[in-house]
Homo-oligomer: A and B are copies of this chain.
Amino acid sequence: MKFCPDCGAPVRYKIPAGDHCLRHVCTACEAIHYSNPKLVVGCVAEWEGRILLCRRAIEPRLGYWTMPAGFMENGETTRQGAARETLEESQAAVEVLGLVALISIPHINQVHLTYGGRMLQAEHGPTLESSEVRLFDEADIPWDELAFRTVQHSLRYYLEDRRSGCPQPHFLDLNP
């Protein structure tokens, strides 16, 4: 940030009075502009025991596999966000179930919430963000071609809990 979104004047990076962090502060109107972590919401969705994965059509990690996930939008709940991302990235309509993972990634200012999900019908397919969308038997999951560590951990948690019959939330902090 170089300019004040409110008045267009230059901002300075400084610690405001009574604060303890550097913030962008307007040199004209003195507005303080905060930057906070973003939430990424996603879904490990099943159809007849198989897991829905998307091959990324966009950077980063173009060509690698992920569960549907993306930035939560204003005006929605975390579960609504997970369902929306799943529909947008895979054309699959899902019922969002319990929380699988809450993962903090402080070095990129993100918190990821991954839910379990049940596809409401078999329909799925490629989208602007996914060059290929497929249902995988557990044995066929492309572990060496997953896009992100969050995908790997979320899938592992989900599958372990499915085997044990005890779905539960898992908590993890990821470092660089």
Known: A80-B106, A99-B102. A36 touches B74 (CB 8 A): yes
The yes or no answer to A1 lying at the interface (CB within 8 A) is: yes
The yes or no answer to A142 lying at the interface (CB within 8 A) is: no
The yes or no answer to A21 lying at the interface (CB within 8 A) is: yes
Contact B2 A3 (CB under 8 A): no
Looking at A5-13, A59-67, A131-139, the stretch in contact with chain B turns out to be: A5-13
Q: Which of B5, B33, B77, B111 contacts A173 (CB 8 A)?
A: B77
Task: Quickly give the copy total for this chain.
Answer: 2
The yes or no answer to A128 lying at the interface (CB within 8 A) is: yes
Known: A1-B5, A39-B37. A77 touches B102 (CB 8 A): no
Q: Bound complex: CA of A34 vs CA of B80, how far in Å? A: 18
Q: Which residues of chain B come closer than 8 Å to A99, judged between CB atoms?
A: 102, 169, 171
Q: Bound complex: CA of A24 vs CA of B77, how far in Å? A: 22
Which residues, 55 to 113 on A, are CB-close (under 8 Å) to B?
71-80, 88, 99, 102, 104, 106-107, 109, 111, 113
Since A37-B72, A79-B104 are in contact, a sample of 16 more A-B pairs with Cβ atoms closer than 8 Å, ordered by chain A residue number, is A1-B5, A5-B33, A8-B8, A8-B10, A34-B71, A36-B38, A36-B39, A37-B73, A72-B111, A74-B106, A75-B107, A76-B106, A77-B173, A78-B111, A79-B173, A80-B106
